[in-house]
Amino acid sequence: AIEQEIASQNYNATIELDDEPHFMRLSPAGIDVGLDWRLGTIIPESDFLLEIEDHFYRSLILSLAVVVIVVIFAWATFRWLLDPLLKLIKALKRIGQGDLETRVNLGTTSEYVKLGHAINDMTASLQQSHQKEVLLRHELDHRVKNMLAQIVALCQQTATQASTDRDLIDNLASRVASLSGVHELLGDREQFGLPLFELVTQCTGPYISNQDCLQMSGPGIFVRSKAAMCLSLVVNELATNSTKHGALSRLDGFIEITWQILDQFRDDERIEFKWIETRGKAPTGKIRQGFGTKVLEELIPYEIAGTADLDFKPEGLHYTVSIPIKYFMSMNKA
């Protein structure tokens, strides 16, 4: 019974033929009809392995193809989901920079479409609010300009009729006129500020009869509105004082105005502004602490946390202020 069971099974072996390994397989045949035959199959082992290698390479190529298809599909899905987010980020950056004309069109899924519509509604609302703000600001600027003009006219009318304190009224009119000029410049630039060179030119212009007596130098700096109003009062006071008592009261007088950035690589950057008079004249006697002196010494420290140094030298007035950099910005960013 055991031999019969063995005879009914396949027999596999490796044999050497012509010094080359061959794979041999004996299989029973004819058992159902009472025959005790054996069918032998002998093939070179190299042919057998070649078929295995062929199947292996087919499987490998098929697997790689499946991996590539999966990667492509995953990348396409990733881009399909990511592209709307990238578009959204770019649009939000433009909106954050003040471009309220920007509209978002995300497409793809219904959730993205709803998000795009919500952002567009928000941007449209911001745009309408901004337009109303601009109209109100222009109306306010117009009213303030008219009020300052009326004050100047009243001062001038009073000065023509006054028999005493006429110089005081003229000084007041001059200061108000300077503020009005700077306010008009700020209004033209929507209240954000103006270049420092333009501010100084506006405030000194009425007092300069000879352009050779004034020299300005410094980097292109944009002065924010709060600092601009303070500096306009200070420069106007300096020009007024120089016309009466300093370099501008002489034919050979000279004023040098400079500004620079200090501590450029530290957290406490500041702008240093200097007004240097030469060929002027020093005040005689004790300096009277009037309104003008208080403006020069106290306005900038009180309003914008700066420092002010007022020094009457024999050759003329030397005035230096230092103001935090936060009240300025580069002309390239303005």
Strand 254-262 and strand 214-217: the pairing is: parallel
The rounded distance, in Å, linking the Cα atoms of 162 and 150 is 18
The rounded distance, in Å, linking the Cα atoms of 227 and 192 is 11
Task: Give pLDDT, residue 5.
Answer: 47
320: Cβ–Cβ under 8 A, 6 or more apart, which residues? Answer: 272, 273, 274, 275, 308, 309, 311
Residue 65 in 3-state DSSP? helix
Task: Give pLDDT, residue 113.
Answer: 79
Task: Give pLDDT, residue 308.
Answer: 93
Task: Give pLDDT, residue 276.
Answer: 94
Ordered DSSP codes for 117-168: HHHHHHHHHHHHHHHHHHHHHHHHHHHHHHHHHHHHHHHHHHHHH-SSSHHH
The rounded distance, in Å, linking the Cα atoms of 147 and 320 is 32
Q: Which of 167, 247, 249, 236 is nearest to 205 (CA)?
A: 236
Q: Name the CA radius of gyration of the chain, rounded.
A: 45
pTM confidence score: 0.54
Tell me: the pLDDT tens digits for 222-236? 898 888 888 888 998
The rounded distance, in Å, linking the Cα atoms of 305 and 293 is 18
Residues of the chain whose pLDDT is less than 50? 1-3, 5-6, 334
Task: Give pLDDT, residue 334.
Answer: 47
The rounded distance, in Å, linking the Cα atoms of 310 and 320 is 7
| Cα-Cα end-to-end distance for the chain | 105
